[in-house]
Amino acid sequence: MTTQLRLEAKGLTRTLGGRNVVDGIDLSVAAGRVTCLLGPSGCGKSTTLRIIAGVDRQDAGTVTLNGRLVADDHVHVPPERRGVGLMFQDFALFPHLNVTDNIAFGLPRGAATGQRVAELLRRIDLAGYGDLHPHQLSGGEQQRVALARALAPRPDIMLMDEPFSGLDNRLRDEIRDATLAMLKEEGTAVLLVTHEPDEAMRMADEIALMRHGRIVQRAAPYNLYNTPADRDAAAFFSDINILHGDVHGALTQTPFGQFLAPGLPDGTAVEIVFRPQHVRLDFDRGGRGPAPTPTEGVPARGLVQRARFMGKESLIEFLMDDGSTVVTATVPAVFLPKPGTVLWLSIRRDRCFVFPET
């Protein structure tokens, strides 16, 4: 049994100032699924969302919502007739209306509307707040009212542009999880724009990673994190270390021994990318380190440059014996070796990525 496709965009292109800020975007979101458009500021993700919402027009491509064509070269259905819910960073509540009237705005008057508002107030844990006005609410409460207003007409599709960025860190996780639970219960297809990898990993069933107006990789969070398409994709989700080398006979020589580089011709400059949490540390044993292993390869000697405690983990920076390679490692809890301390570093080979140098 296939899940119903709610949103489908094909070949979306938008040109501004002589460049394609959106460049051939293909997207689809099914009922009850959350897709995150993730990328740095200016990569085109908000423009993509605005095109799908009908607030902006594409120069090429199509948008289909619930099987209905709403945008192509000749068709442009206005936003109010697209049947989507919209949530933005600015909650955009009407200051002159109370909470009840904000949620009910745009719904037909009657008993059913009153019941729907009361139900939503209970679900967002604001029962009894109906007579209050937005200025009497906290930021988190305003965000929940904005969510209830967007959900009130029971939209099949919800478009969200950085909806949680205005909240402080203490509230963000709580509000985000409550929002996601409500959207899942409603079976809503969600397209969420964010520049925060943690938010995308926490909420998304699928992440579409954008760069320079294009989707460079689209996958489930686990797959995107563990099989990045390139160095920049890996770096977007965490700090990385990079070893540089050249390919000779499908192998690259590094301070940590040889790495396989299959399919790359001799002389190709490559980058071997790995994350600080995948570096294992061992103590020096009279100038010797631990024996090589199949899973971690050849240990390399490093000299501690500095160490800092970051709250949940310690961050240690090493200068390797070649005098130019710098490697950073993270260790759970407190581990603060003094500068100049000799330690041996090993890398999990199954957590290393080999990319042609860009």
Residue ranges of alpha helices (H) inside 204-252 are 221-226, 231-237
Task: Locate 316 and state its tokens.
Answer: 């240690």
Please give the tally of structural domains in the chain: 2
* Whole-model pTM over 0.75: yes
Which amino acid belongs to residue 157?
I
Would you say 142 and 169 are in contact if contact means Cβ atoms under 8 Å apart?
no
Residues 300 and 154 in one domain: no
Q: Which domain holds residue 310?
A: 239-356
- The C-alpha angle with vertex 14 and arms to 43 and 164, in degrees rounded to 5, equals 45
Digitized pLDDT (tens) for each residue of the chain, 358 residues in all: 446 899 999 999 999 989 999 999 999 999 999 999 999 999 999 999 999 999 999 999 999 999 999 999 999 999 989 989 888 877 689 999 999 999 998 788 777 888 999 999 998 889 999 999 999 998 888 888 988 998 888 899 999 998 888 777 777 888 888 888 888 888 899 999 999 999 999 999 999 999 999 999 999 999 999 999 999 999 999 999 999 999 999 999 999 999 999 889 999 999 999 999 999 999 999 888 899 888 888 999 999 999 999 999 999 999 999 888 999 999 999 999 999 999 999 999 999 999 999 8
> Do strands 206-211 and 5-16 pair parallel, antiparallel, or not at all (unpaired)?
unpaired
Residues 213 and 93 in one domain: yes
Residues 122 and 139 in one domain: yes
Residues 253 and 115 in one domain: no
Residues 100 and 183 in one domain: yes
Asked which of 235, 267, 302 is the last residue of a domain, the reply is 235
Residues 214 and 304 in one domain: no
Residues 216 and 303 in one domain: no
Query: Helix (H, G, I), strand (E, B), or coil: what is residue 308?
Result: strand
The alpha carbon of residue 106 and the mean position of all alpha carbons in its chain are separated, in whole angstroms, by 32
